[in-house]
């Protein structure tokens, strides 16, 4: 048996997953799961990064107590957020959360100063207000004492890996999400950094996914009583790891990584940096094996999660299965929203914002929790169709169906409605896509798999894939026209 340990950190929780290769299949065991709650401090929304590092050490201890010393370790997380280090290597404050409002308006300002076409030509990255470039520009122009004191900048998984190993490296898939990495020159873009007033010296070398990034350093080994375990720079953006785990049989495939965020796209050999891609606000993020992920970010199940929190504040307790059941009982196609409307970005009273959106667009606003959840799920399914069709157009491909991975596949209603909306099969699985992709890259790097296609074949044999066939095509076709009209996406 060949084992590996994956730390998979999402925007709401983290987990330590031990993987073993056994009898030609992958066997996984969850050793540790923990919440990842942002903390509001005054006007700032921040990550409790040292708590996350503590939980990583707890995961290592649980592996030890189970009598297992992992042959290697990999860490993946969400993208764009970063921490700053002082000259002595200590962390300068808690990293800001991407939903923090400190960078509001900066995307528009830099677009006016440099031109969106110039920024896209240098990076190929989708314009999102929380991208690293805008967070850093806001800090720089506010005269942040933390930024002025900083010696190094590291992304979230880079930071946690640094705490374990003492080695400072960036990793390719996460570096590309910053909108500061130039895929043509394959280096940090000095012109963009110069414009926002940030020194290139803050940035470290960029490792490709699968490179060894150090071993657990002596102080950690002494504290935990473990050995010098190798730590790999896997595909550290969690979506990049999830795409590694897509159990595709053909090289041309479309995927949807479905969770707090929904990311829909395809795997390509080189970035699509055309003017059409820019106008459609697609992104080209780095992947494993010198690939790129042509995709679009969609707001995802965040809207449902935040609605549930709003109802909890009112004293109404619902489990997610209960909400899905209520949605299934509500009238179909009663109202739609564009999940990517800016009003749904920040935390808050999401049901009220959904009703306001519907009233603003001339629709009857949903009132009950079931009607609101149905509106959310049907709108997501419709947006998936919209983005899938654009992905086909930009990549010059036609896809026979859609692979769904991630925790969102537990929502069977969303899976079925997505198949109905796109008029093609949906293949759902595995649910722990990011963790499995994390493990797979470690095994490829160590020679346990010869390449990503062998890994995908084994993943397909190891984890169940549920097929959802489309139905009621005429009703969904008419509803898609209604969705496109009320959201303005048909213009």
Q: Residue 88 catalytic? A: no
State the greatest distance between any 2 C-alpha atoms of the chain, in Å, as a whole number: 65
The CA distances from residue 373 to 108, 207, 320, 322, in Å, are 32, 42, 10, 11
Token pair for 354:
């959904």
CB 413 within 8 A of CB 419: no
Distance of CA 482 to the CA centre of its chain: 29
Given the residues 238, 338, 341, 420, select the one marked as catalytic: 238
CB 353 within 8 A of CB 450: no
Per DSSP, the three-state class of 298 is: strand
Give every CB contact of residue 338 below 8 A, 6+ residues apart in sequence.
Answer: 357, 379, 383, 487, 488, 489
Token pair for 213:
């990034």
DSSP assignment string, 217-274: -HHHHHHHT----EEEE---BHHHHHHHT---SSSS-EEEEESSSEEEEEEESS----
Q: Which of 41, 37, 28 is nearest to 9 (CA)?
A: 37
Q: Which residues are identified as catalytic?
A: 238
């Amino acid at each position: 048996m060949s084992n590996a340990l994956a730390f998979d950190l999402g925007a709401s929780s983290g987990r330590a997953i031990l993987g073993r290769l056994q009898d030609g299949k992958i066997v996984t065991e969850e050793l540790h799961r923990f919440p990842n709650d942002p903390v509001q401090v005054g006007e700032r929304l921040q990550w409790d990064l040292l708590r996350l590092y503590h939980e990583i050490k707890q995961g290592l201890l649980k592996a030890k107590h189970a009598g297992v010393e992992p042959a290697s370790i990999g860490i993946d997380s969400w993208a764009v957020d970063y921490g700053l280090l002082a000259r002595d290597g200590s962390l300068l404050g808690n990293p800001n959360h991407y939903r923090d409002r400190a960078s509001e308006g900066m995307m528009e300002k830099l677009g006016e100063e440099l031109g969106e076409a110039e920024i896209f030509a240098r990076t190929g990255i989708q314009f999102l207000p929380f991208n690293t470039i805008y967070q850093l520009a806001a800090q720089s122009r506010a005269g942040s004492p933390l930024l002025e004191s900083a010696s190094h900048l590291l992304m979230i998984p880079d930071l946690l890996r640094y705490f374990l190993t003492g080695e400072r490296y960036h990793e390719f898939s996460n570096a590309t999400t910053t909108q500061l990495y130039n895929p043509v020159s394959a280096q940090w873009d000095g012109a963009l950094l110069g414009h926002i007033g940030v020194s290139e010296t803050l940035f470290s070398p960029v490792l490709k996914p699968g490179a060894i990034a150090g071993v657990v350093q002596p102080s950690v080994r002494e504290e935990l009583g473990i050995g010098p375990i190798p730590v790999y720079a896997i595909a550290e953006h969690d979506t990049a790891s999830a795409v590694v785990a897509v159990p595709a049989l053909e090289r041309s495939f479309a995927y949807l990584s479905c969770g707090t965020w929904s990311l829909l796209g395809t795997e390509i050999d080189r970035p699509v940096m055309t003017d059409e891609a820019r106008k459609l606000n697609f992104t080209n993020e780095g992947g494993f094996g010198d690939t790129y992920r042509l995709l679009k970010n969609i707001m995802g199940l965040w809207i449902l999660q935040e609605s549930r929190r709003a109802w909890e504040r009112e004293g109404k307790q619902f489990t997610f299965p209960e909400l899905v059941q209520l949605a299934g009982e509500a009238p179909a196609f009663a109202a739609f929203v564009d999940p990517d409307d800016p009003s749904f970005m920040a935390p808050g009273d999401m049901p009220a914002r959904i009703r306001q959106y519907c009233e603003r667009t001339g629709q009857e606003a949903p009132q009950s929790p079931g009607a609101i959840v149905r509106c959310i799920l049907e709108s997501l399914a419709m947006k998936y169709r919209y983005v899938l069709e654009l992905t086909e157009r930009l990549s010059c491909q036609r896809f026979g169906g859609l692979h769904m991975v991630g925790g969102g596949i537990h929502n069977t209603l969303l899976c079925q409605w997505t198949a109905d909306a796109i008029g093609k099969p949906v293949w759902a699985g595995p649910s722990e896509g990011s963790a499995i992709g994390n493990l797979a890259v470690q095994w490829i790097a160590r020679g346990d798999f010869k390449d990503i296609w062998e890994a995908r074949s084994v993943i397909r044999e190891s984890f169940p894939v549920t097929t959802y066939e489309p139905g009621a095509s005429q009703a969904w076709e008419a509803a898609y026209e209604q969705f496109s009209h009320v959201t303005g996406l048909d213009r």
